[in-house]
A and B are shown apart, each in its own frame.
Chain A
C-alpha cells in the first residue's frame, strides 16, 4: 500500500539556519507529492506540490524535488525564520486509488528560535 515516512521531530533551529526535513514514500502508481504546513491552532495548508518525477515545487522560500529514483521528496529552506515554526506534513495522492485520497506522513514539528 501507499505510505509516507518523515524524519522524526521535533526539530529546533536558530533563525537563518538551513532546514532539511526528509520524506520518503511508497506508492503503487505514479503519485503526486505534497508538503502541507500546520501553524499552531490552525488547519493544514498546502505549502508546495510536485506532480511528476524531477519536478521541483517551491513556495515562500521552501523547495522540494520529486526524486523517483530514491522515492524521496525532501523539504528544504535556506534561511528559516521564527514565523516558520509549525508542523510540516509530507503527503501523496495516487491515481491508482484516488486523487482525492491523500496519505499524510506523521508530521515533523519545527521550532525556530531567535
Chain B
C-alpha cells in the first residue's frame, strides 16, 4: 500500500510564479482533502472533494488558489500568482467516506512551499 503520494516534496519559487501541487490518493478512497499548515494559523482545511466533486471550498483563501480533481486518482492545487505569504506545508489527505460516520483521513507527507 503506497499511501497518499504528493509531489513535489519541496518547492521553491519566486513571487508571481505559478505553483502546482499534485496528489494521488489511496486507491479506493472517494474523498480527498487539501490542507495548509503554518506556524501562525495551524492546520487549515482548504477544500475537499467527494467522488471527484468539490464539496466545500470555503477554506480557499482567495481566487489565486484553485483545485481540481479530474479523476479518482489525481488532484492538483494551483496557486497563481504565488506570494510569499503562501509559504507553508500543504498536505493532501484521503478517506473512504461512507456517510453517517467519521472515516479516518490518511495524510500524505506534504509539500513544503517557499515563495521568495
Contacts and interface: CB of A to CB of B under 8 A. Distances in A.
Contacts, number: 56
Interface in A62-114: 89, 93, 98-102, 104-107
Interface in A31-47: 32, 34, 41-46
Q: How large is the interface on A (under 10, 10 to 19, 20 to 34, 35 or more residues)?
A: 20 to 34
Interface string B94-114: 010101111111011110000
A69 B21 CA distance: 43
Contacts of B48: 100-101
B69 interface: no
A45 B48 CA distance: 18
A37 B89 CA distance: 16
Is chain A's interface secondary structure helix, strand, loop, or mixed overall?
strand
B43 interface: yes
B101 A99 contact: yes
A51 interface: yes
Given A100-B97, A101-B56, A46 B43 contact: no
Contact of A89 (B31, B43, B55, B95): B43
Interface of B: 4, 31, 33, 42-43, 45, 48, 50, 55-56, 91, 93, 95, 97, 99-105, 107-110
Interface of A: 32, 34, 41-46, 49, 51, 89, 93, 98-102, 104-107
